[in-house]
Structure 1
């Protein structure tokens, strides 16, 4: 008896992470090269993921889901600025550079083909939701929490993109300055 399609896809995702590690296959590998490494026919990958961008999207979504679980595990204990620092530390770690490259590659494709990447577009809000919850815990209104989350997410992503394009200590210093300004703002709100 054959397993349902979703189970086959999940088994392939597991095999992808087992073979390629937590970042999945690099964006430079073709579907045939990935299939060869997994010991499956490339048409099986095409059936479950559609295309190379579809494969990368599925791997990235699963990796981000796993990341969000790790970050969320500490998120309930952290304030807004500390959570921003944890997110920056996690994604600026060189061990996650391939995943960060894949993220921006797919976001670039999503800009041109939003409907084809709707699942990725929706998933992008995962970290924003964690940040919003941290802001709410600190007493922000729902509107303030949403705005703070949006600003922080956009700034951290922009800094990560800058770090990929021009990896200098200045980018890390700018991230630290941004996060320190959040902490200072939190301190001012508590004092008033």
Structure 2
């Protein structure tokens, strides 16, 4: 008896992480090469993920879900600014560079085809929700917590993109300066 579609997709995602590690398959590997490594037919990947970009989006969504669990586990009572530092430290680690590169690639594709990347776009804000919860725990109003989390996530992602585009700049110092500005209650 065949398992439901969602179960097959989940098993394939597990197999992808088991085979390729926490970042999933690299950007230059084809669907056929991925299928060969998993010992499945490439049409199975196409059935569950649609395309190479769909596969990347699913892998990245699962990787971000796992990342968010790790980040959230740093302490349920962690404040907004320490959480921003934790997020920066986590994603600025060179071990995550391929994932950061894939994230920005997929964001670019999603801008042009939001319907094709619905799942990916839907969970992009999970990190902002973690930050919003921390800001509310620090006593900020719901509206201010939402705005602060959006600003923080946007700036941190922008700094990560800048690091990819121009790695010789002092991105870590700029990130610390930005995060420190959050401690004063002002991002201006």
User: TM-score normalised to the size of structure 1?
Assistant: 0.94
Task: Please give the root-mean-square deviation of Cα atoms over the aligned residues, in Å.
Answer: 1.1
Task: Identify unmatched segments of 5+ residues in structure 1.
Answer: 187-192
User: TM-score normalised to the size of structure 2?
Assistant: 0.96
Query: What residue number does 1:73 align with?
Result: 73
Distance 2:147 2:184 in 1: 17
Query: What residue number does 1:56 align with?
Result: 56
Question: What is the CA-CA distance between 1:169 and the residue it aligns to?
Answer: 5.0
Query: What residue number does 1:45 align with?
Result: 45
Distance 1:181 1:75 in 2: 22
Taking the TM superposition and a 5 Å limit, the aligned residue runs for 1:42-191 are 42-185=42-185
Question: What is the CA-CA distance between 1:5 and the residue it aligns to?
Answer: 1.2
Distance 1:77 1:137 in 2: 8
Distance 2:145 2:182 in 1: 13
Task: Identify unmatched segments of 5+ residues in structure 2.
Answer: none
Q: Is the Cα contact below 8 Å between 2:77 and 2:137 reproduced in 1? A: no
Q: Deviations over 1:44-97 (max 9, x none)?
A: 100111100000011001000000111111252311111000000000101111
Q: Is the Cα contact below 8 Å between 1:75 and 1:134 reproduced in 2? A: no
Q: Does 1:30 align with 2:35?
A: no
Distance 1:47 1:118 in 2: 17
Number of aligned positions between the proteins: 186
Question: What is the CA-CA distance between 1:6 and the residue it aligns to?
Answer: 1.1
Q: Is the Cα contact below 8 Å between 1:72 and 1:130 reproduced in 2? A: yes
